[in-house]
Structure 1
Amino acid sequence: MIDIHNHILPNLDDGPQAVEDALEMARSAFSQGITQIVATPHHNHPMFNNPRSKVLEAVDFLNDQLKREAMDLSILPGQECRISGEIIEDYQNAEILSVNENGKYLLIEFPSNHVPRYTERLFYDIQVSGLIPVIVHPERNSEIIQNPDRLYELVKGGALSQVTAGSLIGNFGKKIGRFSLQLVESGLSHIVGSDAHNVTTRGFCLREAYETIEDQFGIGLRMEFEENANLMVQGEALYLQPPTPIRQKRFLGLF
């Protein structure tokens, strides 16, 4: 398995603060069958700033530590970038990393309580520049929860989204769990990431999330989601279901 959203790099953001804590996360991931982790520390966040050079240095350091542990697990570079009007300029100035430096996918985080008004135009410009914006954990954004059409319009316009493994299995509550499943069912989320920060409160649960997708929608969709992680790391096109709006009647049933 490949995890495309993770905060394993030590002492960069709200993930592990010590190297041993990062190694403990790596051991947990490896024990669950994860072989590659895209490290995605927060960048351009109100509390954290981790430009490309800093992330690459931390990735090399942690990979060296894993080699000493003889662990068959590799850390790949990435970032969870807070949305801003300067994203394209920052990418061109080598401040921002695409997933695994493949020049294809950018993980973009919205503020938790809204979707900025300039998002549609920015996402259009990002795609014109040759990149694909990937919205991280949309199921936890309060504006999208209240109005799923905001996400539908962005996906219809070419954006992708990544649902959190813990959301799918109910770790963020039943309402977010049900909403996450609806996003998957409606073709509004395309890939799963752990968003792991530690091994206790925010750990790895990718396998459980994939099992939930299989239980709800069948083995075929599970396999597509698992393969999408590999395709994203390789910079290839993902398997996508046609997006459909979440019907208001069903949506209201969540609450």
Structure 2
Amino acid sequence: MIDIHNHLLPNIDDGPSSLYESLSLATDAVNMGINTVYVTPHHLNPQFENPKDKILKEIEMFQIHLENEQIPLTVRPGQEVRIVGDLIERIDRDEILFLNNKSSYLLLEFPSNNVPRFTSKIVFELQVNNHRPIIAHPERNKDIIQDPSKLYQLVKNGALTQLTASSVCGYAGKKIQKFCFKLIESNLAHFIASDAHNSNSRSFNLPEAYSLIEQKFGMYKKEELIENANLLHNSELVVGNIPEKVASNKFFNLF
């Protein structure tokens, strides 16, 4: 099993604060059947700056620690990049780390409360440059919850999305879980990932999420989401089903 979004590296963002905690979290991943993780430290958000070269060095060192501890987990590089107006210029300057370094897939993070006005422009420009944007945890974005058409338009125009396993499982609340189900049902979800930060409140939870998806939507949908992660891992094209509109969710009033 492959996880495309987590914060496994120690002392680099809001994930584990020590190597011991990181190795413990890595052991949790292996025990849940995960064999490959794309570590995606926050970058360009208000709190954290984790440039490409720094992450590549940290991953190389962490893989050695995993091997020394005989933890059978392969770590691949990535970033969770906050969307900014000059993102294309930063890519041109080779500051941005795509998933697996050389693939076309880029994990994008929005601010929690809104979808920036320049988002559609950035999503378009990324694709013109043969990059595939993956919107991280849209189910937690206030703007998207209140107006899902914003996500629909982005997906219709070529963006992919990643839901968080804990959200699917209901650990972020029943309303967000219900919204996840609506997004899956409407072909507005392409990946499930852990966004794991620690072994307690924010662990991997992937097997539980996939099991729940199989119960609610059938084995085909579960296998489709798992296969999309495999396609990404092999730098192959992920093609989503035709997206459908979701009714406005003003009744959620989550915030």
- Return the TM-score normalized by structure 1: 0.97
Bigger CA drift: 62-71 or 106-115? 62-71
Matched positions, count: 253
Residue 68 of structure 2 is matched in structure 1 by 68
CA-based RMSD: 1.2
Residue 39 of structure 1 is matched in structure 2 by 39
Task: Encode CA deviations 1:51-105: one digit per residue, 9 max, x unaligned.
Answer: 0000001100110001101222111000000000121121221211111113311
The gaps in structure 2 that reach 5 residues or longer are none
1:254 is displaced (CA, Å) by 5.8
Moved over 6 A (4+): none
Alignment partners' CA distance in 2, 1:103 and 1:68: 28
Residue 151 of structure 1 is matched in structure 2 by 151
Residue 221 of structure 2 is matched in structure 1 by 221
Q: Is the partner of 2:114 in helix, strand or coil?
A: coil
One-letter code aligned to 2:205: C
Alignment partners' CA distance in 2, 1:229 and 1:167: 18
Alignment partners' CA distance in 2, 1:231 and 1:102: 14
Q: 1:9-158 residue pairs with structure 2 within 5 A? A: 9-158=9-158
Alignment partners' CA distance in 2, 1:57 and 1:26: 18
Residue 195 of structure 1 is matched in structure 2 by 195
One-letter code aligned to 1:204: F
Contact 1:166–1:172 under 8 Å retained in 2: yes
1:242 is displaced (CA, Å) by 1.0
Q: Is the partner of 1:64 in helix, strand or coil?
A: helix
One-letter code aligned to 1:143: D
Contact 2:113–2:143 under 8 Å retained in 1: yes
Bigger CA drift: 163-172 or 85-94? 85-94
Change in 2 beyond 3 A, CA 1:146/1:253: closer
The gaps in structure 1 that reach 5 residues or longer are none
One-letter code aligned to 1:3: D
Alignment partners' CA distance in 1, 2:239 and 2:194: 19
Residue 172 of structure 1 is matched in structure 2 by 172
Alignment partners' CA distance in 1, 2:88 and 2:106: 10
Alignment partners' CA distance in 1, 2:35 and 2:224: 18
Contact 1:167–1:177 under 8 Å retained in 2: yes
1:195 is displaced (CA, Å) by 0.1
Contact 1:102–1:233 under 8 Å retained in 2: no
Q: Is the partner of 1:99 in helix, strand or coil?
A: coil
One-letter code aligned to 2:21: D
